[in-house]
Amino acid sequence: MTFSVENSKSGFDHVLIVCVVVLTGAGLAALYSASYAFAELWFQGDRLHFVFRQLIRAAVGFFLFFIAANINMSILRSWVMFLVTAALILCILTFVPGIGMTINGASRWIGVGSLSFQPSELVKLILPLYLAHIFDKKKDHLRSFMSGLLPPVLVVALFFVLILLQNNFSTAVFIAVNALAIFFLAGVSFGFFISAAALIFPATSLLVLLEEHRLRRMISFIWPDWEPLGAGYQVNASVLTISSGGFWGKGLGQGTRKISSVPEIHSDFVFSAYSEEGGFMGVLLFIIAFAVFAWRGYRAALGAASAFKRLLACGLVTTIFTQMLLNIAVVAGAVPATGVPLPFFSAGGSSLLVTLAMSGLIVNISRTADPRLSLKGVNVDNGVYDGI
């Protein structure tokens, strides 16, 4: 059975758009509740400091969302190498004195005046875009390492090294793992992943052992009572904050442990404040919202008319969804602490801007997706899907 998709136009996925709006709104509410006490203390009584800044970023982010949702994907593909080059330059600029910003020993930001940006967040969008483009272009050469796989491997490795040198180990590993997911979806042979694992696991283990703060985090994860007031304090306090919410939660703005118990709770640990006030039911609604987002995103990907759109949508949805899973696993003490923010929720303009732009591209792909079609048997040359 075949379905022609050349003229298939199903329109925007309104459920997906509603999910993006709801998650952004919930993130703003959770951020205000998590941050107002800290903001009042450190910013001369300005309880709205963090949420007002995030609201401005959300407005800019939805402008990017609108552009991404409406841009011609063929035009976007023609810009891929320019965007990759721009992302590489921005990552390098983090090391340039006067432009790069170093905070707590990490050189992850570039800044002009009061504005700052974290280029590694942009890589979460640019790398899936590049990989979708290159794998669609080289789909007949994926069995050859030199002609098919070497270019994307080099690009992924270059971004990994640059982000690692910024002292951003967790983001570097996260981006590399999500890149490998796109390699898998593109149909790269299983032998490639065995070889990659043989290189990656020893290398990452060595990188953990060579840095004291990474090793301390790993020991604190394995043995939570080893350094209860040091490396393990933030995660242990977060777990207690989450459990204090009970079934129904304490109510929006009524949390108490968030005020002084969890350092930087408005940033990567905002989920613990949300859980304290929302309880089990709030967490359940949070998971449902993200699950619906992922479902509609993958639905758009599976119905896409080309390998490029399919890989791009899958890559973007997987990046957002796995970032959410990783963040809540950290704050719940299920994995060692990382610096990965919670999409739509954590304070920080770079993450929110990029997440909304990524969501816009997913919505864009949903415009021409045919929900009747499956990933199985795609013939991208003829614009039809053939059963195998």
Question: How many Å apart are CA 44 and CA 25, to the nearest integer?
Answer: 26
Q: What is the pLDDT of residues 97-108, one digit of tens each?
A: 888 887 777 778
C-alpha distances in Å from residue 349, one per residue of 316, 319, 345? 18, 18, 11
What mean pLDDT do residues 365-377 have?
Answer: 70
Q: What is the pLDDT of residues 164-199, one digit of tens each?
A: 999 899 999 999 999 999 999 999 999 999 998 888
Could you please report the per-residue DSSP string of 2-38? EEE-TT------HHHHHHHHHHHHHHHHHHHHHHHHH
What residues make up the domain containing 354? 2-386
Could you please report the per-residue DSSP string of 220-258? HHHSTTSSTTTTTHHHHHHHHHHHTTTTT-S-TT--SHH
Q: Looking up tokens 């923010």, which residue turns up? A: 341
Residues 6+ apart with CB under 8 A from 203: none
- Most confident range (mean pLDDT) of 71-75, 215-219, 381-385 is 71-75
Token pair listed for 156: 């992924």
What mean pLDDT do residues 204-228 have?
Answer: 79
pLDDT-based confidence at 1, cuts 50/70/90?
very low
H/E stretch holding 102: strand 100-103
Q: Examine the pLDDT at 210 and tell me if it is beyond 90.
A: no
Q: What is the pLDDT of residues 300-327, one digit of tens each?
A: 999 998 999 999 999 999 999 999 999 9
The secondary structure of residue 147, as a DSSP letter, is: I
Single out the residue of 256, 320, 246 nearest to residue 283, CA to CA.
246
Percent of the chain with pLDDT strictly greater than 70: 90
- pLDDT for 370: 75
Output Rg (C-alpha) for the chain, integer angstroms: 21
Single out the residue of 94, 96, 95, 121 nearest to residue 110, CA to CA.
94
Single out the residue of 127, 114, 117, 61 nearest to residue 93, CA to CA.
117
pLDDT-based confidence at 231, cuts 50/70/90?
low
Number of domains in the chain: 1
Q: What is the pLDDT of residues 40-96, one digit of tens each?
A: 878 888 889 899 999 999 999 999 999 999 999 999 999 999 999 999 999 999 999
Residue 174 or residue 204, greater confidence: 174
Question: How many Å apart are CA 301 and CA 321, to the nearest integer?
Answer: 14
pLDDT-based confidence at 388, cuts 50/70/90?
very low
CB 319 within 8 A of CB 327: no
